[in-house]
Amino acid sequence: MKRQLVELAHARSGDKGDTANVGLIAKKAKDYPLLVKQVTAARVARHFRGMITGPVERFELPNLHALNFLLHGALDGGGTISLKTDAQGKVFSTALLRMEIEVKR
Amino acid sequence: MSARPATVRVAGGQGFWGDWLEAPYRQVTGGPVDYLMMDYLAEVTMSILQKQKSRDATRGYATDFVDQMERILPTLVERGIKVTANAGGVNPRACAMAVADVARRLGLARKLTIGVVSGDDLLGRLDGLIARGHDLQNLDTGRPLHDVRDRVLSANVYLGAAPVVEALQRGAQVVITGRVTDTGLTLGPLMHAFGWPRDAWDRIAAGTVAGHIIECGAQASGGNCLSDWKTIPNLAAVGYPIVEARADGTFDLIKHPGTGGRIDVAGVTEQLVYEMGDPRGYITPDGVADFTTIQLSQVGKDRVRVSGVRGKPATDKLKVSIAYFYGYKAIGTLVYAWPDALEKARAADRILRQRLDALGLKFEAILSEFVGANATHGPLALQDIDAAAIPEVQLRVGVRSPDKAAVDRFTREIAPLILNGPPSVTGFAGGRPKPEEVVAYWPALIDKKMVEPSVELIEA
């Protein structure tokens, strides 16, 4: 069945220039492999289609049961240049938590 | 040399210039601490301070810091608590003189030694560096600084912990720096207190991780924490985080007893991934930390142990943060009410854009957001809801241009929409938006050997 990431994970995001990062953290260690398998860089790039202009990179932190995503071209130039409300990418975190993944019953 | 302590406590006091004014006082009075670390500098801050200094040579630092010192200096002196702060901005010496004045006024003359760390300011050296072949390429675009040289407002290299350690070793109780890394303000005290050598890469990495965790203040102790946020107790009296470190590089994250907030593995993990790039290579002037080696465990209530941190040698480069004038921007807003709030706001946006077009105004960017509908989550937010039922929407339109006149004309096109655009509109009490100067940020690298940090001591 499908479950929304917000039920399985929490997240925090920030910025570096025009790149937003999203750290996605499994609430329970046992769910981390599910995130690794399904929340791929390609899937995240599709999720944020229309919101970012560059590629998505993914890094694994198994020690923290976390994935780190870099969303390039997410911030309309970033920092002081950006016209966005979320110029510093603070809430890309919860936008990712809207994604649904497949979970065995 | 005095005996090494078993543990050293470094308290986070400010996560940015503008953070909670109560936090430093609470950190130094709420329980035992050895050091108070305060971070004041964001990238844009340096250019603002440089502008202030160009108008008045005695300015160019974080003035709030001096007010904080006035409040806590008696406690610092009485308890022997040391301070590291990058409040010096582009004028750390003037900041130190202001703190020395405060100390004398408080009757602490000859009781306070202030360390001043400088050498980070490259603004006066840029042409010489460029002439000698350091073209300070933009790390994102690869362009040489020459492209924007005549618009540069500030240029500061990120110094590491080394000059902070030197200031402490020479007896400074308050260390005021220019552009020292946030993490260096925590690592420096640990290197000094435990006598860590500069090539103890694992311990350097551990101290860097400690600094990363507390550099954003309460973001490590329950603030802005998504994990079970509704159950985080008493954020009104949130306790800011404290690193309790041991000589082997392991440390506990704690906060003072009786304070609000929460220190747990989930919250510390959130702060660890904040502003994270490649977790295997967190690069600072002091070394490279591998965040995939960090082990966290909850060893008590509001106590998280951090261990296992591995590091690698420092690179031979330093990062330079350059600010330059980019152009102008302005943001205008109007609020539309139910029924059809979003549809009305969208109609107003279309009309506004038609008028800007008809005026022949050229912008580098026009961005329209509908706050209440899609400003934070974009198209993802509108997938599963009945858009017509949204009770209210703020239309928020921003423009950016090198042409100030175009931006200025834009600011005059918002208010007319109240009477000559779609209905049920309000929220214009703030008046016409103001064009703002945009200062952009140019990240670059420079060879470490080109930079010589300097440390000066000032007696109050």
**Complex ipTM, two decimals?**
0.98
> In terms of pLDDT, which residue wins out, A104 or B390?
B390
- The domain at A2-102 falls in which architecture? 2-Layer Sandwich (3.30)
Q: Is the pLDDT of residue B44 over 80?
A: no
Are B179 and B78 members of one domain? yes
B453 located within any domain: no
Q: Is the pLDDT of residue B430 over 90?
A: no
Please report residues of A whose CB lies closer than 8 A to that of B371: 85
Q: B62 is in which domain, residue-wise?
A: 7-120+158-315
pLDDT of B231: 98
Provide the residue ranges of all domains of chain A, joining segments of one domain with +. 2-102
Are B74 and B182 members of one domain? yes
Q: Is the pLDDT of residue A93 over 90?
A: yes
Question: Token digits for A97?
Answer: 């938590």
Q: Is the pLDDT of residue B219 over 60?
A: yes
Of B280, B315, B350, which residue is a domain's last? Answer: B315
| A 51-90 residues inside an 8 A Cβ radius of B | 51, 59-66, 68, 70, 76-81, 83-86
Please report residues of A whose CB lies closer than 8 A to that of B396: 85
Average pLDDT over residues A48-61: 97
Distance from the A50 Cα atom to the nearest Cα atom in chain B, whole angstroms: 8
Q: What percent of chain B has pLDDT over 70?
A: 100
Kindly indicate the confidence band of residue B330, based on its pLDDT and cuts at 50, 70 and 90: very high
Written in H, E and C, the secondary structure of B277-333 is CCCCCEECCCCEEEHHHCEEEEEECCEEEEECCEEECCCCEEEEEEEEEEEEEEEEE
Are B172 and B309 members of one domain? yes
Nearest to B297 by CA among B309, B287, B307, B288: B307
Distance between CA atoms of residues B48 and B60, nearest Å: 8
Contact B292 A85 (CB under 8 A): no
Please report residues of A whose CB lies closer than 8 A to that of B296: 64
B386 located within any domain: yes
Residue from A22, A47, A56, A81 whose CB has the most chain B CBs within 10 Å, to mutate: A81
Which residue has tokens 């408080």? Answer: B106
Are B175 and B107 members of one domain? yes
Q: What percent of chain B has pLDDT over 90?
A: 94
Distance between CA atoms of residues B190 and B121, nearest Å: 25
Are B297 and B240 members of one domain? yes
B372 located within any domain: yes
Q: Is the pLDDT of residue B354 over 90?
A: yes
CB B240 within 8 A of CB B13: yes
Please report residues of B whose CB lies closer than 8 A to that of A72: none
pLDDT digit string, tens, across residues B163-177: 999 999 999 999 999
Q: Other C-beta atoms within 10 Å of B119: how many? A: 17
| CATH for B368 | 3.30.70
Distance between CA atoms of residues B422 and B419, nearest Å: 8
Nearest to B134 by CA among B440, B452, B448, B453: B448
Average pLDDT over residues A10-19: 95
Are B169 and B304 members of one domain? yes
pLDDT of B2: 61
Q: Other C-beta atoms within 10 Å of A91: how many? A: 17
Of B294, B331, B378, the CB nearest to A63: B294
Contact A98 B272 (CB under 8 A): no
Please report residues of A whose CB lies closer than 8 A to that of B328: none
pLDDT of B45: 86
| Minimum CA–CA partner of B327 in chain A | A81
Are B379 and B246 members of one domain? no
Residue from B140, B273, B275, B396 whose CB has the most chain A CBs within 10 Å, to mutate: B273
Rounded to two decimals, the pTM is: 0.96
Q: Is the pLDDT of residue B1 over 70?
A: no
Residue from B230, B275, B306, B394 whose CB has the most chain A CBs within 10 Å, to mutate: B275
Q: Does A23 touch chain B (CB under 8 A)?
A: yes
DSSP-derived letter for residue B94 is: H
CA distances from B55 to B49, B52, B149, B176 (A): 10, 5, 21, 22
B139 located within any domain: no
CA torsion through residues B262, B267, B268, B272, sign:
negative
Are B348 and B301 members of one domain? no
Kindly indicate the confidence band of residue B184, based on its pLDDT and cuts at 50, 70 and 90: very high
Distance between CA atoms of residues B253 and B261, nearest Å: 13
B17 located within any domain: yes
pLDDT digit string, tens, across residues B192-214: 999 999 999 999 999 999 999 99
Question: How many structural domains are present in chain B?
Answer: 2
B21 located within any domain: yes
Distance between CA atoms of residues B273 and B242, nearest Å: 18
Are B184 and B305 members of one domain? yes
Nearest to B216 by CA among A22, A19, A90: A90
Of B267, B295, B315, which residue is a domain's last? Answer: B315
Mean per-residue pLDDT of chain B: 96
pLDDT digit string, tens, across residues B364-396: 999 999 999 999 999 999 888 899 999 999 999
Mean per-residue pLDDT of chain A: 96
Question: Token digits for A77?
Answer: 């130039």
pLDDT of A2: 96
Contact B293 A63 (CB under 8 A): yes
Of B287, B315, B343, which residue is a domain's last? Answer: B315
B84 located within any domain: yes
Please report residues of B whose CB lies closer than 8 A to that of A51: 378-380
Distance from the A11 Cα atom to the nearest Cα atom in chain B, whole angstroms: 6
Are B307 and B422 members of one domain? no
Kindly indicate the confidence band of residue B48, based on its pLDDT and cuts at 50, 70 and 90: confident
pLDDT of B383: 85
Are B288 and B353 members of one domain? no
Are B345 and B374 members of one domain? yes
B96 located within any domain: yes
User: Nearest 5 degrees, angle CA A60-CA B297-CA B253?
Assistant: 100
